[in-house]
């Protein structure tokens, strides 16, 4: 697999890993950790062996898994397991074939950057698959794959129910899913929930993101604070991205 910026890295399509019994524990368990609670793979219906096998596959230094989430108008969110031996992490970015470079969403590692998505963007991307492009098409799987990049201070009242339903659809027990959904949404281990607002046209607004329709994040640790989501794109390309994200025209 070849992705701009990763030409010399051993990328492989990661979608086959979604069937591993311990995949969701390996992918999401860290988000449930608090000072009071040590997360347990059994919450995800997995045992330690399942978790270890999935974690080894996700962090394989010789095969970096890539998860593709195609959405409207040729855009994709791409999730890359950046498995450097001394600096592993996960990168979240948005891409389009017409762009010269990717739009940066979030990084999960020791030098984290985020949040990368508002709730409304996450839901819109998850709900607008492109069946003609390679990658993950199922709404509930897309939703859970995008969840680590989320950080939104204004979650809707049904957010936990929607995440809980997605968890049930990937095999989490119905009695465990609501508690697990609350844990996944309650406190992100790496960043605070953000306020998201539409960017202004004005260069006097305090943000460099002058194209309308793209949300701006108020958390300084986010790649989407004080800059455009995608650098070097035209006004037309930004408009297309905003429509694909469901944020323009404004509701």
Query: Which pLDDT tens digits describe the chain residue by residue (251 residues)?
Result: 678 888 899 999 999 999 999 999 999 999 987 666 777 888 899 999 999 999 999 999 999 999 999 999 999 999 999 999 988 999 999 999 999 999 999 999 988 999 999 999 999 999 999 999 999 999 999 999 999 999 999 999 999 999 999 999 999 999 999 999 999 998 899 999 999 998 655 444 444 445 778 999 999 999 999 767 888 899 899 999 999 999 987 65
Considering the domain boundaries, does residue 159 fall inside one? yes
- Cα 152 to chain center, whole Å? 13
Considering the domain boundaries, does residue 67 fall inside one? yes
Considering the domain boundaries, does residue 204 fall inside one? no
Considering the domain boundaries, does residue 77 fall inside one? yes
Overall number of domains in the chain: 1
> Cα separations (Å) of 192 from 30, 48, 111, 221, 229?
16, 30, 15, 9, 19
Considering the domain boundaries, does residue 205 fall inside one? no
Considering the domain boundaries, does residue 178 fall inside one? yes
Q: What's the domain range around 169?
A: 11-193
Considering the domain boundaries, does residue 109 fall inside one? yes
Considering the domain boundaries, does residue 84 fall inside one? yes
Query: Which positions ≥6 away from 213 have C-beta within 8 Å?
Result: 198, 199, 238, 239, 242, 243, 247, 248, 249, 250
């Amino acid at each position: 697999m070849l992705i701009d910026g990763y030409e010399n890295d051993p990328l492989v399509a990661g979608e086959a890993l979604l069937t591993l019994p311990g995949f969701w524990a390996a992918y999401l368990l860290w988000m449930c950790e608090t000072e009071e609670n040590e997360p347990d793979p059994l919450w995800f219906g997995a045992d330690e062996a399942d978790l270890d096998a999935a974690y080894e596959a996700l962090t394989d230094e010789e095969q970096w898994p890539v998860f593709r989430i195609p959405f409207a108008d040729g855009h994709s969110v791409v999730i890359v397991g950046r498995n450097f031996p001394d600096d592993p992490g996960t990168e979240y970015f948005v891409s389009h074939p017409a762009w010269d470079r990717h739009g940066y969403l979030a990084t999960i590692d020791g030098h984290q950057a985020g949040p990368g998505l508002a709730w409304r963007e996450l839901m819109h991307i998850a709900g607008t698959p492109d069946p003609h492009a390679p990658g993950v098409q199922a709404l509930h799987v897309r939703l859970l794959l995008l969840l680590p990049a989320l950080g939104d201070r204004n979650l809707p009242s049904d957010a936990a129910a929607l995440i809980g339903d997605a968890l049930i659809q990937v095999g989490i027990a119905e009695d465990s899913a609501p508690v697990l959904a609350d844990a996944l949404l309650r406190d992100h281990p790496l960043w605070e929930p953000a306020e998201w607002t539409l960017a202004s046209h004005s260069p006097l607004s305090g943000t460099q993101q002058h194209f309308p329709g793209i949300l701006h994040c108020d958390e300084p640790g986010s790649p989407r604070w004080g800059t455009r989501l995608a650098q070097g794109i035209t006004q037309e390309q930004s408009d297309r991205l905003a429509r694909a994200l469901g944020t323009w025209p404004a509701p």
